[in-house]
Structure 1
Amino acid sequence: MRRQRLLLSLSMGLLVLLLFLNGASGTILFARAKADPLQRADAIVVLGGEHDGREAYGLSLAEQGYATTVLLSNPYSSKDKVMLKACAPRADIEVICQPPIPSTTRGEALFTRKFADERGWKSVIVVSWRYHLPRARKIFDECFVTPGRSVILRDVPRLYPFSVAQWQYTYLYQYGGWVKAELQGPCS
């Protein structure tokens, strides 16, 4: 009985320690991730994920003159209302909606590289949420950036009023994605 209590206490203590370390390191690495200064680019690439305003933000950057082309990652269903609106043709901005293959950040970096190769793009603004910026930077640096080609990362300007459990999940998800990116290695 004593041994079971000791094991339970140690297990609970270890879990609390792991959750604390996840929260503390996640706050440092992901919640405080820095966006790059905005500058004009050849295209704006909006990564898929939550419909948290990223599509509207990417389009607004184009409307402000940061690029004339917006490439929207569209891994959603053909009936997705947000994407139907965002992908609608515009007179002043070229909007391209493309499903990434694979449907991951790596797939998005690869289709960005394909469009850049075809169109001669030298720089792109990549829009995602703040907690994804470090991993997106790693993947785009490996799969898109070359000498003479650069990426500017921007987060959607908004607050995320998450619960402690949501923060824990968000950080664990980003760590898991980072491990996956490391295991996949560089893009070919």
Structure 2
Amino acid sequence: MTTWVVLGARYILLASPDEPAPVDAVYALGVVSPERLDRAVDLIEAGHSDHLVMTVSSEAHWGEFCRREHGFTVTCVTPDPLTTRGEARSWARLAEQHDWGSVMVITMVPHLSRAEMYFQRCFSGELVMVDDGRDMESAVWVRQLFYESAAFVRYALSRGC
């Protein structure tokens, strides 16, 4: 129990985001929330990249955003499976296709460490892990602690990209 609390605090509750930096693309993980999309666009407008990659589900309402013209390139992906591991695999394929060597990944704080581990398995380039700036209530933090704990077990039992 003590080990779970210590590891949970270190890798989930107290995960430390990186400072934004110039990259080949900004990748907004998860089926993107409005807050995460706003954060991604702000980072692009601040000059960190000119390419946005975002995860959408087949029924997501982001289709209009994906088709619209922007002052930057947008690539919308639906990973299979629609999981963090699937997103890391999708990124690795995109990076290879476009010869990209760096990415800024945006997700919520409790997901930062696990997302980084999956991306490191699939991509050998530079990773910049940034939080989406979302304020979460205490109940959400508790749910995320339990969810991410189980997800870390799945990660530990999986191999390869």
- TM, length-normalised to structure 1: 0.77
1:163-185: CA deviations, max 9, x gaps? 2xx43321111011111112111
Structure-to-structure mapping, 1:156-175, within 5 angstroms: 156-163=132-139, 166-175=140-149
Structure-to-structure mapping, 1:1-188, within 5 angstroms: 25-49=7-31, 51=33, 53-75=35-57, 77-78=59-60, 80=61, 83-84=62-63, 86-144=65-123, 146=124, 149-163=125-139, 166-187=140-161
For 1:63 and 1:85, locate their aligned partners in 2 and report how far apart those are by CA, in whole Å: 20
RMSD across aligned positions (CA):
2.1
1:42-92: CA deviations, max 9, x gaps? 0001101462611111122111111111000112514x2xx2454242331
For 1:175 and 1:85, locate their aligned partners in 2 and report how far apart those are by CA, in whole Å: 35
- TM, length-normalised to structure 2: 0.89
- Work out the number of aligned pairs and report it: 161
Structure 1: unaligned runs, 5 residues or longer? 1-17
For 2:6 and 2:158, locate their aligned partners in 1 and report how far apart those are by CA, in whole Å: 27
Query: What is aligned with 1:5?
Result: none
Amino acid across the alignment from 2:19? P
Q: Which has the larger radius of gyration?
A: 1
For 2:32 and 2:146, locate their aligned partners in 1 and report how far apart those are by CA, in whole Å: 17
Q: 1:62 touches 1:69 (CA, 8 Å); kept in 2? A: yes
When residues 131 and 86 of structure 1 are mapped into structure 2, their CA distance, relative to the original with a 3 A threshold, is farther
Amino acid across the alignment from 2:81? P
